[in-house]
Amino acid sequence: MSIYRRVLRYYRPFLPQTVVGLLLSLIGIGLNLLKPWPFKIIVDDFLRPNPTPRGDWHTRLPLLCLALVAIQFLWGLINWATNYILVKVGLQALLKLRTDLYAYLQSLSLKYHDVRRSSDLSFRVAYDSQSIQTIYNKGFTGIFGSVVTLIGTFAIMVQLDWQLTLLSLGIVPFIIAAIYFFAHRIRRESTFIQEQESAVLAQAQEGLSSIRMVHAFGREQYEVMQFHQQAQQSLQANLRLTLTNVNSALVISTLMVLGTSAMYYVGTLHVLAGTLTLGTLLVFSAYLLMLYQPLESITYTAWAMEGATAGARRCFEVLDREDDVADSPNAVAIESAKGAIGFQNVSFGYALAVASPSGSGQGRPVLHDVDLRIEPNQMIAIVGGTGAGKSTLLSLVPRFYDPTSGSVALDGRNVREIKKKSLRAQIGIVLQDTLLFSTTIRENIAYGRPDASDDEIIDAAKRAQADEFICQLPNGYANTVGERGGQLSVGQRQRIGIARAFLKNAPVLLLDEPTSALDPTTEAAIMETIKDLMRGRTTLIATHRLATIHDVDRIVVLERGRIVEQGRGAELLARGGVYAKLFASGKFPT
């Protein structure tokens, strides 16, 4: 019931439309209940033995036939309008839930996303969210129409023959028992199906997004087998649910046939005894169908609701997740920053796995008691072996994560006390693998400043030495780059990322292995561009390449998450410590 209450909240803005739809539904039900009456009059007045039609039968018979057509036509119009209004409301609520889900997923920290497949989250947004429309259109409004139809049909049937009515309702307790029996199984199997379908999507997305790697290693057949196995599990899950639905349908239809047969037997006896007319029996059988149809509809609706509830629960699991890196209640927005950065006793560990529905997990320690002070406009290099914690240290500055203990400060203010949006507006980032979106080069450069003018975008591209190759493309700045920038070389993608940072013009710059994926010639060219980008900004650069950090103000050496040395390059070599040993071992290419 808590799931249903939460679903209803999404429909509160559309209450007026829902009321109109339900009123039209009532009119449609009334017209539907009128359908058998013209036929009853025709049978009793014109088709019984030795009929004595009242009035002019040449006029009445055509009118009764026209009445059948008119009632059906009006009912069709009302039903069309009802369906349009209620389906539109359902789709509007679905749009709202999907938007809420996507927006909330965008706001959740990287800690949440690190331990979840993006395809599973995509499945919840695209498919699980449809449950909210199912619950409304097949559930709430469908049950409303079925219940009203049941009440109206029951009232008419009692007036026609109360004994036959009670006999017809004799199967209702058994139908309710069948609903209860199958409901739990259907909910369990529906939940499992959605998990399996999510896994199928994940397998397909992973295989297709890594298509270059698959082709490079000739693993096409392996990927197909992996997908086939996952899809086979989904198939088996769907077959189990289908079998449950078929079994339930068999039970319900058998019960209804039993009720119908009993009614025809007793009703025929009443007609033979003269206590019931043939027309009344025929119209009673029509109403019996009207009685059983909503009962059957309610049955299948109950089972559909079980499946939809499973999807809704998966959606609300996301919306109930607390953000690990939320703005504090007293957080303030900053307009600009000088660029002083401080790490005080900072420790941090990544979550290994989801340990609870809230997403908390045991931390894998990465940083230990890091103390570091960086003055405005200083250029600081962070070096160390793989897994030393370089990228993690950089990730704490824009609050991609919060430290497990200790604090990170910008201009003397704890970053937890700064609104994330304004904090990140002060920071430019260039990563090892520049992520581009499958849109135009212009939009990719302006991603951090969508309001930038064309002149500003072109100027940023020129400063990043990207304008020349952009202008050689068929559509220039309007050229699309393909998924993840696949139509550009690594060096070209990196220049687009640098142009993006130039355009943002933030006082703090974070460079995470910006040249490690490049060949020496391209690296040398891009480093000249990066040096221009670093000038006049507080810069932290994490790198394996000593050639890129020779002239920085300070080098900080990390080993197993701890700062073991810091100073200028020549000083560190003279000390003969960790940095000098790494330098001598050749682990840092020069």
Would you state the pLDDT for residue 375? 92
Q: Name the pTM for this structure.
A: 0.73
At 85, the pLDDT band (50, 70, 90 cuts) reads very high
- Say yes or no to pLDDT of 414 above 90: yes
Nearest to 99 by CA among 87, 111, 91, 109: 91
Q: Which of 54-63, 199-208, 221-230 has the lowest mean pLDDT?
A: 54-63
Would you state the pLDDT for residue 357? 36
Q: Which residues contact 447 (CB under 8 A, 6 or more apart)?
A: 437, 500
- Say yes or no to pLDDT of 578 above 60: yes
Q: Is 497 exposed, middle or buried (0-12, 13-18, 19+ CB in 10 A)?
A: buried
Structure tokens belonging to residue 468? 């020349």
Would you state the pLDDT for residue 89? 92
- Say yes or no to pLDDT of 263 above 90: no
At 586, the pLDDT band (50, 70, 90 cuts) reads low
At 52, the pLDDT band (50, 70, 90 cuts) reads low
For residue range 342-375, what is the model confidence (pLDDT) as tens digits? 999 999 987 654 433 334 444 678 899 999 999 9
* Higher per-residue pLDDT: 258 or 210: 258
CA atoms of 569 and 566, how far apart (whole Å): 9
Inter-residue contact 401 to 348 (CB < 8 Å): yes
Q: Is 396 exposed, middle or buried (0-12, 13-18, 19+ CB in 10 A)?
A: buried
**Which residue type does 517 have?**
A
| Mean pLDDT of the 488-505 span | 85
Inter-residue contact 262 to 11 (CB < 8 Å): no
Q: Is 419 exposed, middle or buried (0-12, 13-18, 19+ CB in 10 A)?
A: middle
| Mean pLDDT of the 554-568 span | 89
Would you state the pLDDT for residue 272? 81
Inter-residue contact 538 to 376 (CB < 8 Å): yes
- Say yes or no to pLDDT of 236 above 60: yes
- Say yes or no to pLDDT of 479 above 90: no
Would you state the pLDDT for residue 55? 54
Q: Which of 58-62, 338-342, 455-459 has the lowest mean pLDDT?
A: 58-62
Q: Which of 32-41, 163-172, 198-207, 515-524 has the lowest mean pLDDT?
A: 515-524
At 265, the pLDDT band (50, 70, 90 cuts) reads confident
CA atoms of 341 and 540, how far apart (whole Å): 10
- Say yes or no to pLDDT of 465 above 80: yes
Q: How many CA atoms lie within 13 A of 477 on its CB side?
A: 18
- Say yes or no to pLDDT of 506 above 80: yes
CA atoms of 258 and 260, how far apart (whole Å): 5
* Higher per-residue pLDDT: 207 or 54: 207
Inter-residue contact 197 to 234 (CB < 8 Å): yes
| Mean pLDDT of the 552-570 span | 88
CA atoms of 286 and 268, how far apart (whole Å): 15
Nearest to 29 by CA among 69, 59, 95, 74: 74
Nearest to 390 by CA among 582, 113, 108: 582
Would you state the pLDDT for residue 408? 93
Inter-residue contact 340 to 375 (CB < 8 Å): yes
Q: How many CA atoms lie within 13 A of 223 on its CB side?
A: 19
Would you state the pLDDT for residue 54? 54
Please report the domains of the chain, with CATH numbers, ordered by start residue: 2-319 (1.20.1560.10), 341-350+365-585 (3.40.50.300)
* Higher per-residue pLDDT: 128 or 48: 128
> Phi and psi of 586, rounded to 5°?
80, 10
Q: Which residues contact 291 (CB under 8 A, 6 or more apart)?
A: 150, 153, 154, 157, 168, 169
For residue range 538-551, what is the model confidence (pLDDT) as tens digits? 999 888 766 567 67
- Say yes or no to pLDDT of 150 above 90: no
CA atoms of 353 and 358, how far apart (whole Å): 12
Average pLDDT value for the chain: 81
Inter-residue contact 484 to 439 (CB < 8 Å): no
Q: Is 335 exposed, middle or buried (0-12, 13-18, 19+ CB in 10 A)?
A: exposed
* Higher per-residue pLDDT: 31 or 283: 31
At 410, the pLDDT band (50, 70, 90 cuts) reads very high
Inter-residue contact 507 to 537 (CB < 8 Å): yes
Highest mean pLDDT among 243-257, 394-408, 437-451: 394-408
Inter-residue contact 438 to 536 (CB < 8 Å): no
